[in-house]
Structure formats: C-alpha cells, structure tokens
Amino acid sequence: MCGIIGYTGSANAVPKITKGLEVLEYRGYDSVGIAARTSDGVTTVKCRGRIGSLEEKLERNPIENCTCAIGHTRWATHGGPSDVNAHPHRAGRVVLVHNGIIENYKVLKEEMMKKEVTFLSETDTEVAAAVLNDCYAETGDPMTAIRQATAKMKGSYAFGILFDEFPGEVWAVRTGSPLILAKGQDGYYLASDMTALLPFTKEYYCLEEGQLAHLTPTSAVLYGSDENPKVPDWSITAMTPESAQKGGFKHFMLKEIFEQPEAIMKSVSPRIVDGLPNFSADGITADFWRQVKNIQIVACGSAMHAGLVGGRLLEEIAGVPTSSYIASEFRYHPPLAVDGTLVVVISQSGETADTLAALRYAKESGLPTVSIVNAVGTTIAREADRCVYTYAGPEIAVATTKGYCTQVSVLYMMAAAIAHATGRIDDTEARDLARSIAEDAPKAVLDMLERSEELRQMSARLAAREHIFYIGRGLDYAMSQEGALKLKEISYIHCEAYAAGELKHGTISLIEEGTPVIAITTEAALYDKTESNVREVRSRGAYVIMLCREDAPNPETSADEVIYLPTKSTAASLFAAMTAVQMLAYETADRLDLDVDRPRNLAKSVTVE
C-alpha cells in the first residue's frame, strides 16, 4: 500500500528520499514520485512504475542543492497507475503526498470546481491538495490551513506537505493512516513505516490520531487539538537496518520463514514466568483471564486464520467458547456479547483499516479489548485496552509467515494461561504446555526447514496445475485455510481449503486426474476420518500429499506422497505442518519464477477499508 518518506535537514535530501522509497517498495506500489525543495522552488518528478524509472528520470535531470523533500510510493485506488495520478500532487502553492482515502472527495471536488479549480488527475489526493490550498490562500498560515482543510475531509489520511512560502519546512498530519517522525544527526524525517527510517536513525515518534507535526532542519514540533506546541517524546527502536534486508536469502519470504524459530522464542518467552504461562508483563493478570467467559477474535487474512487456529486451541485447552470473525464483516452482523466477552484483535502491521474499525466498534460497544500486534506503537497496539506484542521483527514479504506463526504461538500461550488461571490445568500441565510452545514449536520449524529439498521436489507437481485443494478437519482445517491462501496469493494458482468431510457435498466434482490435494492430519484422533476422505479423492484421480504424524498407520498406502510430522507434542506437529505449507507455497511460486515478495495487486499493510 502507499508509502511516505520525508526529510529536512543539512544533508542532500534526494538520495535519502530514494533510499527510503526503496525500503518502502515491499509495501506494494505501482507509481512513485518526489517533490524536492530547492532555491528555485519545489520540483516534482514522478512516474508510473518502479523506483528505477524515477531514478532514471532524476539522472537525466538531476536535482541540485536540495535539503528538504517528500517522496511517495502509490498503490492505486482512485484512478489507475499513471504518471499523472502518481504523488506528489500540487494545487496552487501546496504540494503534498497522501496515504489513505478521502471518502468525501467527490463532494469536495465539486466544491472546488465551483471555485474554478481544475484537476489533472483522477485522485482523491489532488482534491485534498486543492482543499488545503484553498484554506491556505485564505489564511496564509500552514497550520490553520491544515486544520481547516482536514476538518472538511472524511476518511483516513496521512499527509506530508510542502508550502511554497516555507522553504526547508515539512508539515505532517494523520488520521487513520500511520505516520512516524524521526530525529537524525543531520535533520528530521517523516515516514509511513518504521523500516523506511532504519537506514537513517533509530530515534522515532509515532504521531497520534489527529496530531499535526511541523519539521524544520533543526526542530520537530507537535500540535494536538489544543494550540500548545509539544516536543516529541522520542523512543529508540530495537530494529536494525539489517533486519529489513535479505541477508543472503533469495527472497524476504524465505528469510522470514527461516527466522520463525527465533521469532517464536522471542514472542513466547516474555510470557513464561517460573515455567508457567504468565501475561503480567502485558498488564494481564490471572484474575483478568478468569473473568473471560467468551472470546471474539477479529482480524483479516492470515491474521484471521491465526485466529481460527487460536480459537480451536482456546476452546480445547482453556474451554472458553471462541469465535473468529473477518474484521470487515464484524460490524455488519455484530456478534452477541455476553457478560465476560473479550474481543481479541490480531494484526501484524497494527494498521489494517478493517481491523482498526472493528476494534473501534468493539470499544464503542463497551467490550474489553486485547490486541496482538507486531509493529510497535501502531494504532491498533495503542487503541486496544491491552496489547500483547509478537516479536517477529520487521516483516517485509507481502505474504506473512513469521507474523502468522508468532500470532499462533501467542494465542497458544494465551490458551495455556487461561486454562491455568481458571484451574482447568494444574501447574505441571501448564508447565509442560508452556515448554512445548517455547521449545518444541521452534525445534519443529527448524527440523522441517532441514527438509526443504524434499518440499521443493513436491512443489514441482503443484506448479504444473491450475487448481489445488487443501483439506483437513478441526485444527487442520483452520491451518488448511492459511495453506491455501499462502499458495494462491504468491503462485496465482487457484487453491481452496475445504473441511475434509465437506468435499463430498459438492466440491469433489472438481477433482480430476492429477488434481493435487494436500491433506493435513496433525490431530491423531481425526486421522482415520481424514484418511477416508483422502481415499475418496484419490480414487477419483487426485494426487494426494499428506502431512501426517510419524505414528500414523501406513499413510503411504493412502497418499502419493507423505510429509511426516513430529509427535512430541501438539505444538511440534502444528508448527511443523505450518512450516511445510509455507515452504510448499514458497517453492511453488519460486519455481514459477514469480515475484515472491511482491505478488501482483497486493499490498503489505492494507490501510483502506
């Protein structure tokens, strides 16, 4: 999704902006641009396509003596990808870049057109620029103009703004879309994403909702709803520039799959005290868990799939009725809350618009909320009553792997904590469960990764097909849904997940000679039933790859290929299967020579509803 980078200081701004734009590439974009302030005014260079095209333009017409600039990567929403729709946009004496969506842009555009304003692009952003310029023309004061203009806008926005009359100064404001300030040795920065700031500095501040920032080469000042200026309360990020680089791996996705053992350990170990599951460091006491009678998990995409797996674990281990909802649907048929309902929202980026809207809806409904978030200081992390961070580190590949896997590990630990707090399991059982999550899970991921070549061989058959099915029961059905999403989103092969017992109620008619069916059977108690479903599809021509426990009775007689999973604990088999489906997806897409890290049409952080 769109990305913003800005700088003002004593150094050459253009290389900084292009560097920041390169880092933002992973978010997904289709056009790119820069507005650079020089002694001659503001020069804008922008184009459809990749940063390489922008750099070629900049090489042909270099921008000299520039120490203040803003840049943008655009993921098209209003108007297709084109040079003219690319940001920055100018209106009168204002130049700006924008993330988010101005929902009432049509009304505002009509108002502006009545004032004889003409528009070059189809974007809502150019309309925002025109409204801001209109207010600026009346007041001559950037801050008042920004306040007046944003008061007219509905929707979500993060703006980086230059005003012609204020050389070397950058203004920023956000509502709904994230924006981070940073303080470097040689000036001040602005970005929509922490990773874009890592090449320059570690000192950062996340703008709050509605907050306005004014950056000069030597200062950063914040303005809230009152007039009183504030100095940012800077924090230091633990991320390093290396954490956002490939580190010798062919793709970020592969690197991130290999980072999973460490990410699981980092995410669960702060939640174990004296060997027992314990979330007190997150401000969640055993007493809080004891009040929980019902859990509603809300998230999007893979995070929702993590919720499906987590929901099973919460019900089985903690005995708490749990439902998982797609965030964009949550508001349209609000689930019935009972006394003791807890809403858990899950988001790797912490900024997903649908998840944020659902969180706000839950809070407005008076329900207690806990978020599970990876990106520190983000809106969902801040707005939930309590936040449990996953410590996966920056996730660059659009398709999540370590984000998902750490979400599951934290939910697993939550199930153990609730079960222990309510006395459903005793100390010994709780210790064993916590140990299995903290030790068996990372080990199982590592062991599966040692079998990468085996999985690569299997992917040859997948890469050659147009349709693939995942099947499973219970926990395995929940995991199948993530397996299918991972495979289809990066390989562009149609892949569906089915509850194993449901195929014969219609979908089995799609099985033909050679259709790959991947069956997951981590649950020993459900093996026989899923194995019968495997036989049903195989006798209709399916080519079956079965993921099953090492102690499964003769799986080779039922499936064409078998991936054995460890039996040491449920955590071990679950995380081994998770890694196998991620690797199958990765290897299939890589075999097809696709842009694994940046699949078409997708964006990393989906900040529009």
Minimum distance from CB of 445 to ligand F6R (Å)? 17
Residue 115 annotated as catalytic: no
Nearer to ligand F6R, 84 or 602 (CB): 602
Minimum distance from CB of 252 to ligand F6R (Å)? 12
Nearer to ligand F6R, 20 or 483 (CB): 483
Cα(131)–Cα(142) distance, integer angstroms: 13
Cα(2)–Cα(10) distance, integer angstroms: 27
Interface with ligand F6R in residues 506-565 (CB under 6 A): none
Contact 487, 585 (CB under 8 A): yes
Which tokens sit at 113? 């057109």
Residue 548 annotated as catalytic: no
Q: Report CA torsion sign: 90, 95, 99, 103.
A: negative
Taking CB under 6 A as the binding criterion, the range among 217-225, 349-357, 384-392, 427-435 that sits at the site for ligand F6R is 349-357
Query: Nearest-CB residue to ligand F6R?
Result: 301
606 lies in the binding site for ligand F6R (CB under 6 A)? yes
**How far does Cα 568 stand from its chain's mean position?**
32
Interface with ligand F6R in residues 275-314 (CB under 6 A): 300-303
347 lies in the binding site for ligand F6R (CB under 6 A)? yes
Nearer to ligand F6R, 63 or 358 (CB): 358
- Kind of pairing, strands 94-102 and 155-163? antiparallel
- Cβ-based neighbour number of residue 461 at 10 Å: 16
Interface with ligand F6R in residues 456-485 (CB under 6 A): 485
Minimum distance from CB of 104 to ligand F6R (Å)? 25
Nearest CA to 70 among 45, 93, 48? 45
Nearer to ligand F6R, 18 or 378 (CB): 378
406 lies in the binding site for ligand F6R (CB under 6 A)? no
355 lies in the binding site for ligand F6R (CB under 6 A)? yes
493 lies in the binding site for ligand F6R (CB under 6 A)? no
193 lies in the binding site for ligand F6R (CB under 6 A)? no
Nearer to ligand F6R, 517 or 596 (CB): 596
Cα(209)–Cα(174) distance, integer angstroms: 6
Q: Which of 2, 47, 206, 405 is catalytic?
A: 2
Q: How far is CA 389 from CA 193, 245, 363, 365, in A?
A: 17, 22, 19, 24
Nearest CA to 32 among 56, 8, 67? 56
Contact 242, 383 (CB under 8 A): no
263 lies in the binding site for ligand F6R (CB under 6 A)? no
Cα(334)–Cα(541) distance, integer angstroms: 43
Minimum distance from CB of 293 to ligand F6R (Å)? 26
Nearer to ligand F6R, 291 or 601 (CB): 601
| Residue ranges of E strands in 117-246 | 155-163, 170-175, 180-184, 187-191, 203-206, 212-216, 219-223, 229-230, 235-236
Q: Applying CB under 6 A, what is the total number of residues that bind ligand F6R?
A: 15
Minimum distance from CB of 415 to ligand F6R (Å)? 20
Contact 380, 178 (CB under 8 A): no
Nearer to ligand F6R, 400 or 573 (CB): 400
Q: How far is CA 70 from CA 73, 77, 175, 196, in A?
A: 11, 20, 19, 13
Minimum distance from CB of 303 to ligand F6R (Å)? 4
349 lies in the binding site for ligand F6R (CB under 6 A)? yes
Q: Using CB under 6 A as the criterion, which residues of the chain lie in contact with ligand F6R when the complex forms?
A: 300-303, 347-349, 352, 355, 399-400, 485, 489, 605-606
Positions annotated as catalytic residues are 2, 604
